[in-house]
Amino acid sequence: MSPAPIPKTAPFPEEQIELLNRVVGVASVTQRAWLAGFLAGLDAADAQPQPAAPPRPAEPLTILYATESGNSEKLAGDAAKAARKLGLKPTLVDMADLDLRSLASIRRLMVIAATWGEGDAPARAVSAYADLMSDRAPSLDGVEFAVLALGDTAYVEFCAIGKALDRRLEELGGTRIADRVDCDLDFAKPAATWIEDTLKSLAPHDEAGRGRVIEVDFVARQATSADLGPVEAEVGEHINLNSSRSDKETVHLELAFDGAAPAYKPGDSLDLYADNDPAAVDAVLKATGLKDDALRNDLQRNLDITTLSLKAMETYAATTGHRYVKELLESGAAREWIAGRQLIDLIEHFPIALTVEQLRAVTRPLAPRAYSIASARSEVGDEAHLLIAAVRYQSRGRGRKGVASGYAVERLKKGARVKVKLRPSKYFALPDPGRDIIMVGPGTGIAPFRAFVQERRAAGAAGKSWLFFGDRRYTHDFLYQLEWQDALADGALSRMDVAFSRDGAEKHYVQHRMWEQRRDLVDWLDNGAHLYVCGDAKAMAKDVRATLVRAVADVKALAPDAAEQAVRQIEREHRYQQDVY
C-alpha cells in the first residue's frame, strides 16, 4: 500500500493532504473500508431528500344519484371510495339537490339512478329530473358521462329513468364513456363490475402511473344496523284489523326480537323475507313435470317464481328454443302478453320439457318486501309492529296472491319465526319535536304515522300533529281506530280528518279532505309544518301533491306555476316527504 494515497491534486490545501496521508497512508484495508462507508453514510444522512415530482391534483368526478330507498346512494358512496383510490376527486350529488347550471362545468359525470312508480323518477328527484329533461338543461359538450340504472324487471318500465338519463346526457352533447348497465333487484354484482370498469375509463390515464395521487380512505366506516344481516323475530301478535265483513284483510303483526330490536327510528321499514306459497310451488313443479327436492326447496324459499319479465321470456326462448315464445318476442307483442301474467302462465301456455337448470335460469332470486314499521321503540321497547295488507286479485282468469303479503297474512301465525332486516329511511323522518307535522296516510300508509304519533307522545312533543286517513268503509276498515281516538284525547294527535270512499254515494279520498281544509293546511305549512305522504304511489301520492298545489294557488291567489314553485320550495326544504309504493 502506498504511504501517500491522497494525490496532490485532491481538493484540499497542501497541509490537509499531508495530514490525510499521515492517517490514510498507514491505515489497513479494513480501516479504509470503514472510513469510506462512514463518510458515505454521513453524507447520505445529511443529504436533503430529492424533491419528488409535485403531486398531480386529483381529477374531479361528479357522482350524481337519484334514489328513493337508498340503493343508488349507497352505490354512489361505494363508487366515490373506489374513485379516490384511482386518483379521482369525487363529489357526491343527490339529484334532489342538483343545481342544473353546475352540470356544464363538470368534466366527468357518473350517474346512478333508480326508477320508481310506473317508470317515474324517485320522488325527491322529480323536479330536478324534469329540469334536466327540459329546455333549461345546459349543453354538456366535453362532459364524459356514464349511467348505471337501477330497477326491477317486474316493472314494464324497467330502468326507465336510467335509460332516459343516458339518452338525455348524450343529446345534450355529453360523451358516453361507458355503456349503461340496467340492474335488476340483485344489483350488487353487476353494479360493482360497472363501477370498477367505468372508473377505469374515467380515471386519468398516465403512461407509467407515476405521479398518480392515491387517496386511500382510511376512515373506517361505522357499521350501521343497516349493514347487519337479516335477524330472526317471533310473531307475538297477528291480528286482522278489518272487520269480518270487510273485503280487505290488513294484519297488524307484532314482532319480538330475541335480543335488542334493530335500532330503528320512526319512518324506517323492515324488509321481510317471505316464502312462496306452497300451492304456487306445486303448480310450477306440476307444469314443468320436474320432481326434485332440492329444487322444491329453492322454489319455496329462494327463487322468484311469480314475476314474469321480458328478460325471463327471452331466457325461456333462448334456453328452450320455444318457437312461439320466440315469435311473440320478435313480433313485439310480448310486452302486452306479459301484463297481468306470471311465470306459471308462460310455462302452462307454452309448455316444453324443461330441465332444472332451464327453470332456474328463468327465475331470479326472491327479493324481500319492505313494510313500514308501525311502532316506536320509545313505546314498544324491543318489538317492531308491521301493518300488512293482503294483495289478492284476479287477472287473466286466474286468482292471484301477493308473495309476501300472502305469507304474512295467511301463513304466519302467532309464535312463528320470521326473517327481517332493517331498512333505514334517511328521507322520511320526524323533524324536531317543536315542529308541526301533517300526515297523509290512507290504507297501509297509516303505518309509519302510528310510529310518529307514538314517538311524539313519548317525547312530549310541543309541535301539533294532524292526520289524514282514508280507506273503504268506516265500520269495517278504520285501521287502529281506538288508538287514534286515544291519541286525540291525550293530545298526541291534534287533529284527524278521515275519508271513507265507499260509504257515500260519491267517492271521497284523503285529497278531498285536504282540499276542504286547504286554508288550515296552507296556514300550517306557512308556519313551518312538515308534510308526510305514505301509501299508494300510483294515484294517491300524485293526487295529494296536485291537490296541495291547487290549495296553495287558491288560498294565496297564485297562478298555477307560482303555486307549483311554492310547493317545490317546500320540497327543497325537505318539508314534503314521501314514502310511497
Looking at the Cβ atoms of 62 and 465, the one nearer to ligand FMN is: 62
CA 85 to chain centre: 24
Among 404, 499, 510, 551, binds ligand FAD (CB under 6 A): 404
Among 114, 317, 403, 453, binds ligand FAD (CB under 6 A): 403
3-state secondary structure of 347: helix
Looking at the Cβ atoms of 3 and 399, the one nearer to ligand FAD is: 399
Q: What's the rounded Cα separation, in Å, for the pair 307 and 151?
A: 14
Question: What minimum distance in Å lies between the beta carbon of 524 and ligand FMN?
Answer: 28
Q: Is the CB of residue 456 less than 8 Å from the CB of residue 479?
A: no
List the single partner that 72 binds among ligand FMN, ligand FAD, none, CB under 5 to 8 Å by kind: ligand FMN
Q: Which three cell numbers stand for residue 212?
A: 398518480
Our finding on whether 329 is near ligand FAD (CB under 6 A) is: no
Looking at the Cβ atoms of 116 and 500, the one nearer to ligand FMN is: 116
Residue nearest to ligand FMN (CB): 151
Among 68, 275, 571, 579, binds ligand FMN (CB under 6 A): 68
Q: What's the rounded Cα separation, in Å, for the pair 148 and 195?
A: 8
* Angle, helix 160-171 to helix 126-133, in steps of 10 degrees: 40
List the single partner that 388 binds among ligand FAD, ligand FMN, none, CB under 5 to 8 Å by kind: ligand FAD
Q: What's the rounded Cα separation, in Å, for the pair 115 and 117?
A: 7
Q: How many CB atoms lie within 10 A of CB 29?
A: 8
Our finding on whether 127 is near ligand FAD (CB under 6 A) is: no
Residue 477: which of 578, 390, 566 has the closest Cα?
A: 390
Interstrand relation of 59-66 and 88-94 (parallel, antiparallel or unpaired): parallel
Among 21, 62, 72, 375, binds ligand FMN (CB under 6 A): 72
Our finding on whether 509 is near ligand FMN (CB under 6 A) is: no
Q: Is the CB of residue 418 less than 8 Å from the CB of residue 272?
A: yes
3-state secondary structure of 149: strand
What is the four-CA torsion angle of 148, 149, 153, 154, rounded to 10 degrees? 150
Point out which span in 111-119, 240-248, 280-288, 430-438 binds ligand FMN (CB under 6 A): 111-119
The contacts of residue 42 (CB under 8 Å, 6+ apart) are: none
Among 71, 242, 309, 444, binds ligand FAD (CB under 6 A): 444
Our finding on whether 387 is near ligand FAD (CB under 6 A) is: yes
Q: What's the rounded Cα separation, in Å, for the pair 50 and 162?
A: 50
List the single partner that 12 binds among ligand FAD, ligand FMN, none, CB under 5 to 8 Å by kind: none
Our finding on whether 581 is near ligand FMN (CB under 6 A) is: yes
Point out which span in 72-80, 239-247, 381-389, 565-573 binds ligand FAD (CB under 6 A): 381-389
Our finding on whether 370 is near ligand FAD (CB under 6 A) is: yes
The contacts of residue 270 (CB under 8 Å, 6+ apart) are: 255, 262, 264, 370, 371, 373, 384, 386, 420, 421, 422, 423
Q: What's the rounded Cα separation, in Å, for the pair 231 and 252?
A: 20
Question: What minimum distance in Å lies between the beta carbon of 369 and ligand FAD?
Answer: 4
Our finding on whether 155 is near ligand FMN (CB under 6 A) is: yes
Q: What's the rounded Cα separation, in Å, for the pair 113 and 65?
A: 5
Question: What minimum distance in Å lies between the beta carbon of 557 and ligand FMN?
Answer: 36
Among 110, 111, 132, 150, binds ligand FMN (CB under 6 A): 150
Among 63, 83, 98, 114, binds ligand FMN (CB under 6 A): 114
Our finding on whether 395 is near ligand FAD (CB under 6 A) is: yes
Point out which span in 157-165, 230-238, 368-376, 457-465 binds ligand FAD (CB under 6 A): 368-376
Q: What's the rounded Cα separation, in Å, for the pair 556 and 544?
A: 18
Our finding on whether 70 is near ligand FMN (CB under 6 A) is: yes
Q: How many CB atoms lie within 10 A of CB 412?
A: 21
Question: What minimum distance in Å lies between the beta carbon of 387 and ligand FAD?
Answer: 5
Q: Which three cell numbers stand for residue 149?
A: 340504472
Our finding on whether 509 is near ligand FAD (CB under 6 A) is: no
Among 190, 211, 340, 431, binds ligand FAD (CB under 6 A): 340
Taking every pair of C-alpha atoms in the chain, what is the biggest distance, in angstroms? Answer: 125
Question: What minimum distance in Å lies between the beta carbon of 175 and ligand FMN?
Answer: 25
Which residue matches cell numbers 294532524? 466
Q: What's the rounded Cα separation, in Å, for the pair 281 and 298?
A: 10
Our finding on whether 67 is near ligand FAD (CB under 6 A) is: no
Q: Is the CB of residue 433 less than 8 Å from the CB of residue 463?
A: yes
**Contacting residues toward ligand FMN, per CB under 6 A:** 67-72, 114-119, 122, 150-152, 155, 157-160, 185, 537, 581
**Contacting residues toward ligand FAD, per CB under 6 A:** 69, 269, 306, 340, 369-372, 387-389, 391, 393, 395, 402-406, 444, 447, 579, 581
